[in-house]
Chains A and B, each alone.
Chain A
Amino acid sequence: MARIIVVTSGKGGVGKTTTSASFATGLAMKGHRTVVIDFDVGLRNLDLIMGCERRVVYDLINVINGEAALHQALIKDKHTENLSVLPASQTRDKEALTREGIQAVFDELAKDYEYIICDSPAGIEHGALMALYFADEAIITTNPEVSSVRDSDRILGILQSKSRRAEQNLDPVKEHLLLTRYNPTRVEMGDMLNVEDVQEILAIPLLAVVPESKDVLKASNHGVPVIHQQATDAGQAYNDMVARFLGAELPHRFINAPKKGFFQKVFGSRA
């Protein structure tokens, strides 16, 4: 049985697409057959971050509407084996996303893939509800700020009440907290919530903390998910995320501000 995992948040710009790209890539790198689907109909940027925008011919909506076969719309990733991307349409109306249509696409994908990753649009409207409806697990992507935490809480409520699992009284959607764009220096200054604050409010298990990092934007601009760059903090954080998701027990990293540098250690701080 394929696992359907939604990457969601309520709030926009928190790092859902960045996370979907690296998480899906990471699962595939570990040998799991994975497909990542862009549900952000109208915006379409997963393909940019995955670096396959030039190869988009058909999209999710074409498949749902029967205008293209699934295999025509799926794009095989160039860098990673076992990985495919199902892009969103930039032009069409979100209402074209129907439960029946998505169900049919998922049923077909489930024959070939172990993990189906759904990159949700922001908000709690139709597109976001469709992206989470079939989920078995949810990556609650949250930034360390009050508004993002509040929106994540709201999404958790919706997962509990409006997902297929909730409606059919099945085991609840398994929830994971991904705290991203975490800036320990700003957290220590009190500008942002810390890990404990966020966990206290959301009360779901922490999967990983991804630090705020310039490498993320650089990687996106090159169309390479940041998990490919194992020299970077963000790349390592996503690597840890994937490993923990697959059952490894690793200590959390990137939570504390960088220690004093070499010169400060040798000569002492003169501040």
Chain B
Amino acid sequence: MNSTLTSKQSSAAFQLKGGIYTLTTLELHSSCLSSLSQQLKAMSEKAPHFFQQTPVVLALEKLPAAIDAHTLTAIAGRLRESGMILVAIRSSEQYKLSADRAGVAWLPSQKARPEKNVVMMKQSEQPIPVESHESAQPSQKNETVSEPMPGASASETRIIEQPVRSGQQVYAPGDLIVLSQVSPGAELLAGGHIHVYGPLRGRALAGVKGNPKARIFCHRFEAELISISGQYKLTCKTEQSSWSRHWGKSVLIKLAADHLHISRL
């Protein structure tokens, strides 16, 4: 055989592509199955569809004691029941084999990461800290308007002039400025602030790399989800909270004492 297989070959069955995804990390603080179930149930009552088909990384570093493979399987089962899809286990090497047996990826612990880079994604009253971080994965990303430019500096600002439509995702390592509208089902992600000079009807996640000082400014607040530095809130017009008063208005959203605050601009 003297044929070489290169990715340039026109008959190649696939192509590997890098993509940046926001993944939810479930950081386990206790191996007690019943309290896990209880908390998951409480969460899905609040936001019934939030975890449907959500890829989740299970982080084990914060567990007070090691758990056995049997318990791990049971935990994975509970996550699945609540609609999440376990894609990886993040832990010390000791769980590497378990991850392999469970058919999911293994990621090394991130203990070494400075606290500043860790994004805690938790709903104000929720005791499960769910963490969100980006990870590069070799797979194809859908309809991304703008991917981080190779070699772009972390503080780079992006300006998007066209509408961001349903199914699109825009990421900026620094601030993200959208001059048009953001449709329901669209997602904005920024390491820094997010400014939207049109109606914000989709999701906006600012400070995704763990910047609690990031803010979200929008000309017309009609968002589906707001998140700053991992603290998130599902929003809707009819929601019974002080937030619904600001629906359709020009607002500023910031994080103070681990809570999201909204105010009129």
Other contacts beyond A157-B168, A160-B162: 19, CB < 8 A: A150-B184, A150-B185, A154-B167, A156-B163, A157-B166, A157-B183, A157-B186, A158-B143, A158-B167, A160-B145, A160-B165, A161-B144, A161-B145, A161-B168, A162-B143, A172-B162, A201-B183, A203-B163, A203-B181
CB B184 to nearest CB in A, in angstroms, measures: 7
CB of B54 within 8 A of chain A? no
- By a CB distance below 8 angstroms, the chain A residues around B168 are 157, 160-161
Would you list 6 pairs from A and B whose C-beta atoms are within 8 A, ordered by A residue?
A: A153-B184, A157-B165, A157-B167, A158-B143, A162-B143, A203-B181
Contact B180 A203 (CB under 8 A): yes
- Over the window 176-199 of chain B, the binary record of Cβ atoms lying under 8 Å from chain A Cβ atoms (1 yes, 0 no) is 000011011110000000000000
- By a CB distance below 8 angstroms, the chain B residues around A157 are 143, 164-168, 183, 186
Contact B181 A161 (CB under 8 A): no
Contact A150 B166 (CB under 8 A): yes
Q: Which positions 198-228 of chain A face chain B at CB distance < 8 Å? A: 201, 203
Q: Which positions 136-173 of chain A face chain B at CB distance < 8 Å? A: 150, 153-154, 156-158, 160-162, 172
Which A residues are closer than 8 A to B by beta carbons?
150, 153-154, 156-158, 160-162, 172, 201, 203
Number of A-B contacts (CB under 8 A): 39
- By a CB distance below 8 angstroms, the chain B residues around A160 are 145, 162, 165, 168
- By a CB distance below 8 angstroms, the chain B residues around A201 are 183, 201
Q: Which positions 146-189 of chain B face chain A at CB distance < 8 Å? A: 162-168, 180-181, 183-186
CB B165 to nearest CB in A, in angstroms, measures: 3
In the bound complex, CA of A161 to CA of B164 (Å): 11
In the bound complex, CA of A150 to CA of B162 (Å): 17
Instruction: Report if A153-B143 is in contact (Cβ < 8 Å); known contacts: A201-B183, A203-B180, A203-B181.
Output: no
CB-nearest residue of chain B relative to A204?
B163
- By a CB distance below 8 angstroms, the chain A residues around B181 are 203
In the bound complex, CA of A158 to CA of B183 (Å): 13
CB-nearest residue of chain B relative to A155?
B165
- By a CB distance below 8 angstroms, the chain A residues around B164 are 157
In the bound complex, CA of A161 to CA of B162 (Å): 11
- Over the window 188-220 of chain B, the binary record of Cβ atoms lying under 8 Å from chain A Cβ atoms (1 yes, 0 no) is 000000000000010000000000000000000
Contact B180 A153 (CB under 8 A): no
| Leading 9 A-B pairs by shortest Cβ distance | A157-B165, A153-B166, A154-B166, A157-B168, A161-B143, A153-B183, A154-B167, A153-B165, A156-B165
CB B179 to nearest CB in A, in angstroms, measures: 12
Among B145, B165, B201, contact of A154 (Cβ-Cβ < 8 Å)? B165
- By a CB distance below 8 angstroms, the chain A residues around B185 are 150, 153-154
